[in-house]
Structures are given as structure tokens and as C-alpha cells.
Chain A
Amino acid sequence: MRDLSAPANPLEMLAYVLSKQIHDHKIVYIGTGIPMVAAILAKKTHAPNITMVYESGGQDPLPSDMPWSVGCPFTWRKTPVVMEMAYSFAQCCNGFVDIAFLGFAQVDMYGNVNTHQIGTDLLHPTVRMTGSGGNNDLASLTEELVLVGVQTPDKFVKNVDFITSVGHLTGGNSRREAGLVGKGPIAVISQCGEFDFEPETKRMRVKSLLPEWTFDITQQFTGFELLKPEGEIPQTPVIPDEILNLLRTEVDPRGVFTTMPTA
């Protein structure tokens, strides 16, 4: 059982901050992990009318337990249609999907994502990871992207070891010039708070920070130079007790995605 009285851990805070990126009545493309938690939390709180779509083909499943895979029955529970994967991604390209969430192993200052490997040689990596899966498809095609992950200098890097999914590529207008569709990343969410991208250079910029995080400390958790917003940095809203309770009792009761890994 989960300790309901414990203060919010970083993953729970992350899930809450991410959930606030989701606005009601939108079509939301969901991958595994924290994005699922955030979307289900949003649906149970401020955005009850969102529609969730999945790459396995499920479109608008009935709410249920936490999906363990994007192919799991919870992702197509009583959906009116289960469509083929090619069509499911095509919906992003054709403008039917509003927002998608992506995880990363590494991200750079332009929001380019690596989920392939640590090390730069594909044939002899230091560690091979998942590769693209649907990550690149969503990043290439969806109107708005939100990137989410734990922030360390090893993960927020100057250059990603492999560009799996293009964010703003080399900044400026380069994403569009490469032929990609949509706005690209609009936000990055980490345990430090929220980031956006400066409109001209498309470089990552602090938007708001969670309590106890300052710009300087956040910079120390970042492998590239962060941009600072003008004026005082706002505080990221923290998870209220009643929503934390809901998260622990109804959204992720077994803590599949929101308990901290033990050593």
C-alpha cells in the first residue's frame, strides 16, 4: 500500500505539472509512463472531456486501471474504433491531434530527443536503449509536443548522442525547413519545473520553477546554458493535497509509474 500521508515525491509532482499542460476538450496522444498518469489525472480533475488516443489504435477508451503498455487492453477498452497503427499516427499529421507527450533519455537546448543510445556509434553504443518506437512519429507530426523527464546534466545535454526525434533542430526556423509538421516542443517538464522555448532562437528557457529550485540550482542540473525569463521567475503550482490523494488512490494506486525506484 502507498503511504498516503507522505509528501509528494518528484515523480508525483512531475505528473501533476504535466497534467496542467492538458486542456479540456483536446485530443491527446498518449505513450507509456508518466504521460499516461498525467492524462488520466487531468481527466479526473480539470479536463474531464479530453479524448485519449493510442498508437496501438485505441481511440477514446473508457477509463480503467493504469495501462502497462500502449497495446494493453486498457488503451482500447470499449473504444468505438481500434484503427491500424499507420492510420493512428496519420491522425497527428492530418491535424486531428492537439498534443502529444514524449519521454527522453537525453534532450538538448532545442528540444531534440534521444531515446536510441548512450554513445554516438550506433553499431557500438555504450548502452543501447529503445530506439524510436512511436517517439519520432509523434514528434514529427503532432501540432504541440510536451517533453517530460527527470532533469540531470547527463540528460539535459549540449548535444544529444543520437537525434531520435526532432524538436527545434538547430533553432530558428530549422524545424520547418527540415520539412516537419507542427509547432514542435512547446514545453519541457521536469522535477525542477516548467520550461518553454524562446520564440526567435527556439532555445530552452525557464518558465517557472517548483519551490526550493532557483535558476542557479536548475542551471547546475543542466548540461547547456538555460535562458532566463525577464523579471522574477514564477513558482510552478504544486500538487494540492486532495489531488495528490486522488493520484495515489485512484490514478496510480499501485504506484506503477509514480513511486521512486529503490536502489
Chain B
Amino acid sequence: MSTFSYNEKALEHLRIEDPSLLDSLVDFETAREAHLKKEHAKIDKRMSLTDAIATYVSDGDVMTDAGFAYVRTPHQAYWEIMRQAKKNLQCIAAPNTNHSFLIFNNNCDYSHNSYVGVEMRGIDRNYDRMLRAGRVKILSEWSHGGVALGLKAAQLGAPGVFSKQMLGSDMLKYNPYLKVMQNPMRDDPDPVVFIPALYPDVTIIHCHAADKYGNAYIYGPTVNDVATAAAARKLIITAEEIVPESSIRGRQGTIIPFFYVDAVVELPFGAVPGNMPGCYYWSRQWWEKLIRFGCVSDENLKVFFDEWVFGVKDQFEFVDKLGGAKWIAESRIQTKAAEGDHEDIDFSYEEFTRTHDSGLYY
């Protein structure tokens, strides 16, 4: 078992009494061991979402988010985590805010932060409330680029990278993993930050297509996902469709290789209510309703999730609630138009406000 030397000041500032909570994320030895013990044979790994979450997401795991905010993010799999009442997760909020809702639902107790909020739709008042109520404990503060480099170092097989990010900022006071050092290659003063390689316990990545072995194809922004796939001890792929291996072999673009993958789940609409490039647009009204109604109070958020997460059996029922076939058609046109693969359309819509709910989600 490796032992670690954390930034003592940061431990103090964060009031972390048991630093062993931090170990798994930077423990190369156990990550390598997990990768060695993975099924290396090329076998059929298909299973249901229920089984994949039950088998591969364990209480206490460090889980990193995937996709980008509300783009190709595995929301439906996160909601299965909520339904299965997983406990004590540590979540890495880069680049998303989605774990805020796992905190509310008592699935996640610890947070590695880099961005919280829904950009122009507003700040995440639920996270703010959870933090102030002591329902989540921050274990580290990062920039997006800092987390991206930690995951990239893991993918590169390097113990870490030296970076110029975050120097001089207060994040250094609240991140036990970061150390400021002198650049060993220079004689003149040149401070750098050592960012260790990061190895999440589990990652769920939603892809456009996968074969039954786990070779998984992504179209559009990949953000950190290829690095995360290589770093994580356990990897669940959810895919819009399962295709023959020959179809994957013929594709150009980003592929996650099958031997990183533990479970393959066919999950059409696995990224709703977010945006899936080439497939469906995000539901703007849904997110506005979440931020402007749901996140306002514990009571509202409970009502919201009872309706949208616990009140639906699966993603198909969710799509029915968004408007069914009409939603599918409209949101496909919207994303294709946004990407330049459809005639330009008018993106006007009826915004959800506290005083106006059109009931439409496209």
C-alpha cells in the first residue's frame, strides 16, 4: 500500500481529519492492479443499466463526471445511482455540477470541485445550500485545466505533470493534492505546481455507439473522457446504440478501446435532458425549471426529483414526459441545426420562469 504526503496546510484549511479519504484518487499502485485484474479477454460485456450500476458503482467510490456540463453527460445513469441509493460517493465536479443532486439525495458526501453551476442559467443554489448545511464536505478545489491535466497524466502513464495553472491562487490553500515547487530544470526562480496523476474509482461515459465488447465511439467534444477512461479503475459505457464490431472498425473519430471497459449498456437517450451531439438538443426549459424552481429550496427539489427521477421508470418514460416523438423530432432538428447539419432554424422558445411555464420542453 502506498503512503502519501499531502499539503498539510490544505488539510488544515479543509479540516480533513482522516486524510486516507484522499488516497484512492492518487493511488497508482491500486489503479494499475485494478487495470491488470480487469477482464482482458474480448468478451461480450452487455448488461442492463440496473446491473451495471449495482455491480460497478460501490458505496464510497470516487466517481468523476463525464461529458461537458449538459453535453453527452450520462444523466440517466446518475439517476439510476439515485434510485439505487448508493452511499458515501466522492464526486469530481469537473467539468459538471451534476453531483449536486447526488448530494441532495444522500448518495454523495464528498466533493472535489472545479465548477458548480449551469452557466448562463444561473448558479446552483442547491449546492450552495448543501455546503452551508454541512451535507457535503469539500476535499479539494481545482481549475478545470488542473483536473484535466491530472487525468491526462494518468492516461500518459506519468506520475503527474508540472503546471503553470493555479499558482498564486487560493485554490492552493484548499487542495491537499497540489504542491508548488521550483522547476527542477531551471536555475532562475520558476515556480510550478505539481499535479499528481488522478485515478477515479469509477467513471460512466455516454457514447454514440459501442460494440458488445466495449469499443466505444464518440462524436463531438470528448473533453476529458478519453483520459478518464484510461485512468478509472472501473468504466461503464452507456451507448445510444450497440453496433457490430465491423461498424466500429470502419469509423473515424474518437474510440475508447474495449479493454478499458467493464460494462456496456445499450441506453438510447442516456444523455437526456442534456445535449447529445448529432442526436438530440438539450431541453432548455427543463434545466431552467431545475435551476429556477427546483434548486430554490429543499422542498422544491424534492418535488422536482419525485416527478422527474423517481416518478419515471426509465429514460423512455422520461422522454415521453418531455413530449415523446414530437420532442425527439424537434430536438434532433435543433442539435443538427446548431451543428450546421440542418438548415438554419429559429432557436426562439418560451423560457421557463417562476411565473411562466409553457409545459413545453423543446
A58-B221, A132-B169, A180-B168 are known; give 17 further A-B pairs, CB within 8 A.
A55-B144, A56-B68, A69-B68, A70-B69, A72-B71, A84-B223, A85-B223, A86-B145, A125-B128, A125-B131, A129-B123, A136-B145, A136-B166, A141-B145, A141-B164, A166-B169, A179-B167
How far does the alpha carbon of A116 sit from the alpha carbon of B117 in the complex, in Å? 11
Cβ-closest chain A residue relative to B193: A179
From 130 to 182 in chain B, residues with beta carbon under 8 angstroms from any chain A beta carbon are 131-132, 137-138, 141-146, 148-149, 151-152, 164-171, 174, 180
| Chain B residues whose CB sits within 8 angstroms of the CB of A56 once the complex forms | 68, 71, 221, 223
User: B339 and A78: CB pair below 8 A?
Assistant: yes
Enumerate chain B residues within 8 angstroms of A73, measured Cβ to Cβ: 220, 275, 277, 335, 338-339
Which residues in B have their C-beta under 8 angstroms from that of A89? 144-145, 148, 165
Q: Are A175 and B71 within 8 A (Cβ)?
A: no
B13 in contact (CB, < 8 A)? yes
Instruction: State in angstroms the CA–CA spacing of A132 and B168 once bound together.
Output: 14
Question: Which of B113, B115, B223 neighbours the largest number of chain A CB atoms within 10 Å of its CB?
Answer: B223
Residues of B within 8 A of A131 (CB): 113-116, 141
Residues of A bordering B, CB below 8 Å: 32-33, 55-58, 62, 64-65, 68-74, 76-78, 82, 84-86, 89, 93, 116, 122-125, 127-137, 140-141, 162-166, 169, 174-175, 177-181, 254, 256-257
Total A-B Cβ pairs within 8 A: 198
Contact B169 A32 (CB under 8 A): no
What A residues does B115 contact at CB under 8 A?
Answer: 130-133
Q: Which residues of A contact B335 (CB under 8 A)?
A: 73
- Are B191 and A178 neighbours in the complex by a CB distance under 8 Å? yes
B-side residues, CB < 8 A to A, are 13-15, 67-71, 95, 113-117, 119-121, 123, 127-128, 131-132, 137-138, 141-146, 148-149, 151-152, 164-171, 174, 180, 189-192, 220-224, 226-227, 275, 277, 284, 335, 338-340, 344, 347-348
A163 touches B168 (CB 8 A): yes
Beta-carbon nearest neighbor of A75 in chain B: B221
> Max chain B CB contacts within 10 Å: which of A71, A74, A127, A254?
A71
- Whether B143 lies near A57 (C-beta < 8 A) is no
In the complex the two chains form, is B138's CB within 8 Å of A71's CB?
Answer: no
CB distance from A91 to the nearest CB of B (A): 11
The 22 sampled A-B contact pairs (Cβ below 8 Å) are A56-B223, A68-B119, A70-B119, A71-B68, A76-B339, A82-B221, A84-B152, A84-B224, A86-B227, A89-B148, A122-B14, A123-B14, A131-B116, A132-B115, A132-B141, A135-B143, A136-B146, A141-B164, A141-B165, A165-B169, A166-B167, A180-B164
Q: Which of A32, A65, A128, A164 contacts B171 (CB 8 A)?
A: A164
Residues of the B chain whose Cβ atoms lie less than 8 Å from the Cβ of A74: 338
Q: Which residues of A contact B148 (CB under 8 A)?
A: 84-86, 89
Assuming A65-B347, A179-B164, is B339 touching A130 (CB within 8 A)? no
Bound together, the chains give a CA A133 to CA B168 distance in angstroms of 16
**Closest residue on chain B to residue A176 by CB atoms:** B189
* Chain B residues whose CB sits within 8 angstroms of the CB of A174 once the complex forms: 168
Q: Are B284 and A68 in contact (CB under 8 A)?
A: yes
Which 6 pairs, one residue from A and one from B, show the smallest C-beta to C-beta distance?
A: A179-B191, A137-B145, A71-B68, A73-B338, A178-B168, A133-B115
Are A84 and B114 neighbours in the complex by a CB distance under 8 Å?
Answer: no
Complex CA distance for A181 and B221, rounded to whole angstroms: 27
A84 and B119 in contact, given A123-B138, A136-B165 (Cβ under 8 angstroms): no
Contact across chains for A71 and B338 when beta carbons are under 8 A apart? no
Q: Which of A69, A130, A135, A180 has a CB less than 8 Å from the CB of B116?
A: A130
Are the CB atoms of A128 and B116 closer together than 8 Å? yes
Q: Are B171 and A85 closer than 8 Å at their CB atoms? A: no
- On whether the beta carbons of A133 and B164 are closer than 8 Å, the reply is no
The closest CB in chain B to the CB of A105 belongs to B123
Instruction: Give complex CA distance A174, B120 in Å.
Output: 33
Contact call B191/A132, Cβ cutoff below 8 A: no
Q: Is the CB of A57 within 8 A of B167?
A: no
Q: Please report the C-alpha to C-alpha distance between residue A141 and residue B168 in the assembled complex, in whole angstroms.
A: 13
Instruction: Decide if B339 touches A256 in the complex (CB within 8 Å).
Output: no
A62 to B123, CA, bound (A): 29
A85 and B13: CB pair below 8 A?
A: no
- Complex: how many Å from CA A82 to CA B254? 11
Q: State whether A64 and B190 are in contact (beta carbons under 8 Å apart), knowing that A132-B142, A180-B164 are contacts in the complex.
A: no
Which among A73, A93, A163, A181 has the greatest number of chain B C-beta atoms within 10 A? A73
